[in-house]
Amino acid sequence: MGSPFGITMYARDSLQAATISQRCFSLVDSLVLIFSDYIDSSEVNRLCATAGKPGQYFIVSPALFELLEISLQAYRLSERSFDITLGPLSRLWRRARKEKQWPADSTVTAKLQLIGSDKIVLDARTRKVVLLEEYMQLDFGGIAQGYIADQVIRLISSAGITGALVDVSGDIICIGTPPGAAGWNIGINVPDNGEQLLTKTLHIQNKAVTTSGNIYQYMVHDGKKYSHVIDPRTGYGLTSSRNVTVIANDCTTADWLTKACSIMPLKKARKLSKRLQAGFLIAELENGKLKTYSNRLFRNYWKQSAP
């Protein structure tokens, strides 16, 4: 899905590690063929080809149906801040960044009319899916990487490995600890800075953590920086210099919750994180000064780094 993918594991020997890794990468390949909108023949793109066609439905695989159900629940819980139907807009902005061409406001407005996960109909008994609006496009970029990480760590665990970490472009899930360590140490970058880390470090085990920000994917227009994270209310990328880091029990939740908390007001983000038993940190630059907001659960894992 256009992102780096890595596995760290502690096994009995290199043969066991290589065998398990190969199984993991094969699993990743199969899931990418389901969820990626970069691949014309992917399952999600074949589903989108039926959008808005009267009487047409698409019977999807168990994995795609499960992620659709999770995504619709996330849409409701986040009060529409997380929305997988952003595909028309994400493709528009992806092309705009590549071509360095700012789209017309009228184009953004037209794409915005196609958005809304309430236009997806699911039948749990048959796994039939109907997309009600013509030209709808689904974009799982804000949740599928976390879902894939969850499936991979589950496979690693079932193979008898007790210490491992899966990293999908910064969407991280781990089990156990490295040998002789109390946990996995995870650094968090300063907003707008890919090299500098915050002075505190996360120490986790059997948890997932992910950070969403605008370091690498953004666009500048009229002196303002627009993130690749799109606000479903406006159709434009976020303009705040804000990083959101979430700790959750699974990487799927951590993945979509970072996007939702990037958009939601702080009070609502705090309430939603508490409901999902997730820790969150918002690190934001205001007039060049770093400000952080976190909840108690996050602070339980966030410790001062050793000098």
Indicate whether 174 belongs to any domain.
yes
Domain count, the chain: 1
The label of the residue with tokens 């089990």 reads 175
Residue 61 lies inside a defined structural domain of this protein: no
Copy the structure tokens of residue 44. Answer: 């999600």
CATH of the domain at 209: 3.10.520.10
**126-183 pLDDT, tens per residue?**
999 999 999 999 999 999 999 999 999 999 999 999 999 999 988 999 999 999 999 9
How far is Cα 246 from Cα 260, in angstroms, rounded to an integer? 11
Residue 246: other Cβ atoms inside 10 A = 29
Strands 218-221 and 184-186: unpaired
Which band of pLDDT confidence, cut at 50, 70 and 90, is reported for residue 9?
A: very high
pTM: 0.93
Q: Supply the pLDDT for residue 306.
A: 56
251 and 292 Cβ atoms separated by less than 8 Å? no
Nearest-angstrom CA–CA distance, 143 and 251: 9
Task: Give per-residue pLDDT as tens, 194-244.
Answer: 678 888 999 999 999 999 876 667 788 888 888 888 999 999 988 876 789
Question: What's the pLDDT at 214?
Answer: 62
In a domain, 197, yes or no: yes
pLDDT tens sequence across 17-41: 999 999 999 999 999 999 999 999 9
Task: Tell the residue number behind the tokens 């990743």, with chain if given.
Answer: 28
Predicted confidence (pLDDT) per residue in 63-76, tens digit: 999 999 999 999 99
Q: Which structural domain, as residue segments, surrounds residue 272?
A: 170-304
Residue 142 labelled as part of a binding site? yes
User: Distance between CA 6 and CA 8 in Å, rounded?
Assistant: 7
**277 in any annotated domain:** yes
Task: Specify whether the CB–CB gap between 202 and 210 falls below 8 A.
Answer: no
Of 60, 109, 73, 67, the closest CA to residue 88 belongs to 109
160 is in an annotated binding site: no
